[in-house]
Amino acid sequence: MLKDRIEAELDRLQEQNLERKVKELVFHDSCHGEDRDGQEYLILSSNNYLGLTYAPEVLEAVKNSLSQGTGSTGSRLVTGGLREAAELERKLARFKYCEDAMLFNTGYMTNLGVLYGLVDAGDIIFSDELNHASIIDGCRISKAKVVVYKHNDMRDLRDKLELYKSTDQQKFIVTDGVFSMDGDIVNLPELVHIKKQYDAFIIVDDAHSVGVLGADGAGTASHYGINSSEIDLQVGTLSKALASSGGYVAGNKIILDYLRNKSRPFIFSTFISPMDVAAANAALDLLVDQGAGMLARLRSNTLLVRTKLLEAGLPVIAGNTPIVPIMVGEAKVAVAMDQALREKKILLSAIRPPTVPQGESRLRLTVMATHEPEELRQAVDVIIQVWQSLVR
């Protein structure tokens, strides 16, 4: 019976162009790779915004970390308590202008761990409808009441908070800084204002903002010139611009000390490897020391791609982050474009429901600092041709 149910669901996914398949890629550098069949690709769908997975300093740091062995061998509270991890936390805290930072094993587990650890059953979480799945899942396991507000709609958030104004329940507002599928930026100035007015606790997930937004690459608060003390917790990941694996939360020491005692995803899972820690440490050092040049390249590449696509009339969600969603609507069209682009040596994956709402399938192009402007120009021309032949 279970087998029938599973087969029926897999058939349905295939028929509706919603089936997902694992890839088998071999990377050549941060922007190029090939698949199992030897087909070469320009990679236009990676979260490796600064291309640091191949920075010589990062590779060297990982080599040197091998003296610590290949695994962390335990949770952070036991043998996984690596000294280099504590150093990374201190650096992250400084970088985010916070008192303290705490590492988790992934960005996903950070959201789970923070919401699970901090939020009690009697509390209320106000969550943007387009928040990342890890926030949605964190809300679910927290057992709190969850109120979903319209995407980046501060009026709707205010209206919903107003309904609970007279209760003495603890209120949390949680949001992505840069939204992972639309690539737009949260209205943080207004959010901070609302937070004060309603005495709420805010959590901003900067997974796609660190190494992307702000003159120093420190994320959403830096982008708006907002003091970090205005935001209670800032979540982030080591797996995007920081070229590694892992996640972190930055904020006040007392809250993080509480989480170190209470957060099950932190307590009951073996910590990331010494290699992961070394890579993130080296990538963060590069961002701090040489971020300006990398961010300038990322921004000029982003501008080049966005401008060219818009000029050709493609339905791109406007904005200025390196996440450039090309909206095609039906999953079938997105899959056809994905396939056609692959044949032309471009890896730009289709994003379909349930990752995005029904009828909002898209190709989510991401730009990196290490792309050569000329290869981007050529690739965008190909994308425009494919779009014209399949969509228009």
Catalytic residue numbers read 180, 208, 240
**Least distance in angstroms from the C-beta of 103 to ligand PLP:** 11
Residue 250 within binding range of ligand PLP, rule CB under 6 A: no
Interaction mask 264-283, ligand PLP, x per CB under 6 A: --------------------
Q: Is the dihedral of CA 155, 157, 160, 164 positive or negative?
A: negative
CB atoms within 10 A of CB 115: 30
**Least distance in angstroms from the C-beta of 51 to ligand PLP:** 17
Q: Tell me the DSSP string of 66-130.
A: GGG-S---S-TTTTT--HHHHHHHHHHHHHTT-SEEEEESSHHHHHHHHHHHH--TT-EEEEETT
Residue 207 within binding range of ligand PLP, rule CB under 6 A: yes
Among 185, 198, 104, smallest CA distance to 147 is for 198
Interaction mask 177-196, ligand PLP, x per CB under 6 A: ---x----------------
Q: How many residues bind ligand PLP (CB under 6 A)?
A: 14
Q: The tokens 């669901």 sit on which residue?
A: 9
CB atoms within 10 A of CB 182: 21
**Ramachandran quadrant class, 106 (left: phi over 0; alpha: psi -120 to 50; beta: rest):** beta
Q: Tell me the DSSP string of 307-366.
A: HHHHHTT--BPP-SSSEEEEEEESHHHHHHHHHHHHHTTEE--EE-TTTS-TT-EEEEEE
Residue 107 within binding range of ligand PLP, rule CB under 6 A: yes
Report yes or no: 106 and 240 within 8 Å, Cβ to Cβ: no
- Span near ligand PLP by CB under 6 A; candidates 2-10, 122-130, 204-212, 261-269: 204-212
Residue 100 within binding range of ligand PLP, rule CB under 6 A: no
Secondary structure letter of residue 144 according to DSSP: S
In the complex with ligand PLP, the residue whose CB is nearer, 176 or 338, is 176
In the complex with ligand PLP, the residue whose CB is nearer, 157 or 235, is 235
User: Among residues 89, 123, 128, 205, which is the contact residue for ligand PLP, using CB under 6 A?
Assistant: 205
In the bound state, the residue with its beta carbon closest to ligand PLP is 107
User: Among residues 239, 244, 301, 366, which is the contact residue for ligand PLP, using CB under 6 A?
Assistant: 239
**Token pair of 174 as six digits:** 């949680």
Residue 48 within binding range of ligand PLP, rule CB under 6 A: no
**Least distance in angstroms from the C-beta of 122 to ligand PLP:** 26
Residue 72 within binding range of ligand PLP, rule CB under 6 A: no
SS3 call for 1? coil
Residues that bind ligand PLP (CB under 6 A): 106-108, 111, 132, 134, 176, 180, 205, 207-208, 237, 239, 247
